[in-house]
Amino acid sequence: MNPVNIQKMALAFGLLAFGILAIGSVLAGSRVLTGVIRGGLGALFFGGLLWVFADLFLAEDEDASIQDLVSDDNNPDKGTQLDQSA
């Protein structure tokens, strides 16, 4: 997955967490400033958490295309079936 997509996903999750925490706190009876602070900290925490886990688990390996290729130099089966006839 592209790193920009991971950042967008983390930002969207952080904004969602901010909205839920801020509005939920105000509706539960806290002051607006307290709700905004709680929402901001929740957005930083949950957005950062998603960013780290998505970067770890969804990022593609840099050597993935090179690892799966078998060339003539490192082929383990080279020369094993030369004595068989068709």
pLDDT in tens, the chain (86 residues): 788 888 999 999 999 999 999 999 999 999 999 999 999 999 999 999 999 999 888 877 666 555 555 555 666 666 666 666 66
In a domain, 80, yes or no: no
Residue 61 and residue 52: Cα distance in Å, rounded?
A: 16
Q: Is 44 part of any domain?
A: yes
Q: Which residues of 5-15 are buried (b: 16+ CB within 10 A; e: fewer)?
A: ebeebbeebbe
CA–CA distance from 62 to each of 18, 29, 31, 52, 59 (Å)?
34, 50, 48, 18, 9
Is residue 53 assigned to a domain?
yes
> Does residue 76 belong to any structural domain of this protein?
no
Decide if 30 is inside a domain. Answer: yes
Question: Is 16 part of any domain?
Answer: yes
Contact call for residues 6 and 56 (beta carbons, < 8 A): no
Q: What is the pTM of this model?
A: 0.66
Report the pLDDT value the prediction gives residue 1, as an integer from 0 to 100. 74
Domain that holds residue 43: 3-58
